[in-house]
Every structure is written in structure tokens, then in C-alpha cells.
A = this chain, B = another copy of it.
């Protein structure tokens, strides 16, 4: 190995570290419209500019992945009761603040439509097309009694917190939303 080769190798190693493909790992913990929006806007924006993006859907956030026409989910009365109170599906998201019995949510949805901000459903489709990886949380599925049948298509295999932390530790950006 000559000095020149070695020099080039060092440079290459430095360049590899600055590889342009950045990674982002998001936790979608909430099913509030005003939280799901930033998750999906950041994910699609990142993916569109070449980032690799993983989203871990957990706790209330798992409901975002539910098919919007599924009303009752779960295997026992506790889980079925919870699913009635905590309506799932990207069509049914409500603001976490100023929902005001639906008026606030409608108003913001109206403003979004007027100004060309895509709906959560459209953003989910866009994200999946752009290669964003959606990971449903195993533990939350067990808790709610949800099965993969209850979810929209195109998701990655179910995984746990350990698998997510592994993705996050190798990402350039991690956000809990």
C-alpha cells in the first residue's frame, strides 16, 4: 500500500461518514390530528429529499394505522370498550387542543384544504410510496388486542421497542411526537 493509496483510503472513510443518505426515526405516540400531521409532514418531506425514514407507531398513535371503517376492535370487553372511546383510522383524527366538539377540528381541516396542505390519509399514501417504513408496536397491539387485519396495507412487520431503539441509535434525527 503506497502513501497515496492510504491517503485516499482515509479520505474515503471520511467521505463515507458524510454519506448523503441521512436517516430519521420518528415515534408517532399520539393519535391527535395536530400531532399526526407533523409526523407525516416531516416523514414525507424527509423521504422526498432522500432521507431514509422509519416511524414507530405506538400507544395512542397505533390507532392511526387502523382502517378507518373499523369501528370495534379487540378480543375482550375491555379492549372493545377502549376501541369505542378511542376511535381509530386516519379519517377520524381530532385536534388535541381546540377540538371544541368538532368545530375547531373542522375549521383547521378547512384551512388546511384551502391552503393545499394534504390530509393525513393522503400523506400516509404519499409516505408509503416514498418508501417511509411504518412499524406497528407489538406491545400496543397486544394491549389493544389489535391484529394486522385491523391495519391498512403496506406496513412493515410488527416490532418492539428494542428494534426501534436500534434504528433510532443509527439515525441522524430522532423525534418523539
A residues lining the B interface (CB < 8 Å)? 1, 3, 6-7, 10, 13-14, 22, 24, 27, 29, 34, 37-38, 41-42, 45-46, 48-49, 51, 58-60, 78-79, 81-82, 85-86, 96-98, 100, 104, 107-108, 110-112, 114-115, 117, 139, 142-144, 160-162, 165-166, 168-170, 172-177
Contact = CB atoms under 8 A, between A and B. Distances in A.
B173 A78 contact: no
A63 B100 CA distance: 19
A85 B106 CA distance: 14
A133 to B, nearest CB: 17
Contacts of A34: 59-60
Nearest to A96: B97
29 contacts: A1-B7, A6-B6, A6-B10, A10-B10, A10-B13, A27-B175, A29-B177, A38-B59, A38-B176, A41-B139, A42-B165, A45-B162, A48-B162, A49-B165, A51-B169, A78-B110, A78-B111, A78-B114, A79-B111, A82-B108, A82-B111, A85-B100, A86-B98, A96-B97, A111-B143, A111-B144, A117-B143, A165-B173, A175-B175
A9 to B, nearest CB: 8
A58 B6 CA distance: 47
A96 B58 CA distance: 15
